[in-house]
Amino acid sequence: MLVVYLLLSIALIIGLINYLRLHPFLALFMVAIFFGLAAGMDYQIILQTINDGFGGTLGKIGLVIIFGVIIGAFLENTGGAYALAEAVLKVVGKKRVPTAMGILGYFVSIPVFADSGFILLSPLNKSLSKKAGISLAGSAIALAMGLTIAHNLVPPTPGPIAAAGILNADLGLVLALAIPISMVALIMALLFATKFAARTYIDPNPEISQENIDLRMKTAPSAFKASLPIVVPIILIMVNSRLRLIPSQEIASWQSFLMFLGEPVIALVIGMLLAFALPKKLNRELISTDGWVGKALKDSANILLITGAGGVFGKMLQNSGIAEVMGDALSDLNLSFFLPFLIASAIKLAQGSSTVALITAASIVFPMMGSLGFVTEMDKALLVISIGAGSMVVSHANDSFFWVVTQMSGMNIGKGYKLHSLGTLVIGLTSIISVLIISLFVN
């Protein structure tokens, strides 16, 4: 019956969010209580589980999410993303706008939410496409796919961080694996955009003139300076992961300090301080309650609540004893990392939010990890990425990003399904295939 209650709980989460439009936080929280009661758990254990699940999850990753959102706010508001765009275009050439936008979307989406990144870069994308005399479809889809890939696979975006926290995965190792896997997915995305999507002609008809873009570029920070809040935390986190391989008794004091700097919370604080250097002048208004920092904190509240509720749901599953039941039932299917991919895909397809899919799928899989054989640090890292791959499949009409891409690119819903939805299927399948191939060599 625990399996039945789990399936019913997933259906309730999807129904409450998708059909009743209930906020994901309330849906996850209420269904967690429902599952505990249905499973016959003691009332006191249910209450303790709620506290442990919410507090424990946010204790690991809450601050990381907050600092990541603040970094994104400063990159958006200072025009740093435009500086990054200019640098990428100089490398790839203006005739390769789809490639440039795909690469740019990939990097911008690491600290900036995909919706915001697309809205921010859409005027530049339209202008460049118009100047190059190409269809907007190819460059828009390349940008959307680049944003989607990094948003779902590469920390320190909130979804992968949340999944890594729930699954107790080494964030540095997740990064080390996510980068090459996401690069393979990005290559496939660019091929899809240039060879397929670009065949559909959409007139760019830019809403902003090149003169306006040039004016904003005059006040934007340099590309190098704009990249520091993104690149430095990633390097520090990866160094931390590498140093952890050294036996503790052999670690020198300077290495211990580097490990401290590479802890995700400290690394993101450093990234935030670097982001504070992006404006021409950092005045008190920008860091006040009503300024960029205040708005970023308000924006982060939503993801924090969803993450905490996902932790409650996962802890409730863990304490119910369903791990052994599900493990015994599914381990014989030998689905390996394809199982969490399918779970995340089903949730994403039904309710639209990639972040909810990541958090919910991680919460469901966490109690089953031992029974399914996901015990090593490598297994946990690949598990996070396989869930991230599933959370990309498939973006369609119940996903807000679907409407951002189609409406800002002049696509009707038919073209949206043909280009954007199919594109997310391509990158999701490419990512999980890469995970399966890697798992053959490391296990």
Residue 443: is its pLDDT beyond 80? Answer: no
Can you tell me the distance from the alpha carbon of 245 to that of 251, in angstroms, rounded to the nearest whole number? 10
- Environment class of 427 (CB within 10 Å of its CB; exposed 0-12, middle 13-18, buried 19+): buried
For range 278-299, the mean pLDDT = 88
DSSP secondary structure code for residue 286 in this structure: T
**Is the Cβ–Cβ distance between 345 and 428 less than 8 Å?**
yes
Say which residue, 434 or 298, is predicted with more confidence: 434
Among residues of the chain, what percentage have pLDDT more than 70?
Answer: 91
Q: pLDDT value at position 251?
A: 83
Please tell me whether the overall predicted TM-score, pTM, comes out greater than 0.85 for this model: no
Kindly indicate the confidence band of residue 212, based on its pLDDT and cuts at 50, 70 and 90. Answer: low
Element (H, E) at 58: helix 43-78
Helix (H, G, I), strand (E, B) or coil at 23: coil
Kindly indicate the confidence band of residue 81, based on its pLDDT and cuts at 50, 70 and 90. Answer: low
Which pLDDT tens digit goes with each residue over 3-54?
A: 788 778 878 887 887 788 888 889 889 998 999 999 889 999 999 999 988 8
Q: SS in 3 state form for 141-207?
A: HHHHHHHHHHHHHCCCCHHHHHHHHHHCCCHHHHHHHHHHHHHHHHHHHHHHHHHCHHHCCCCCCCC
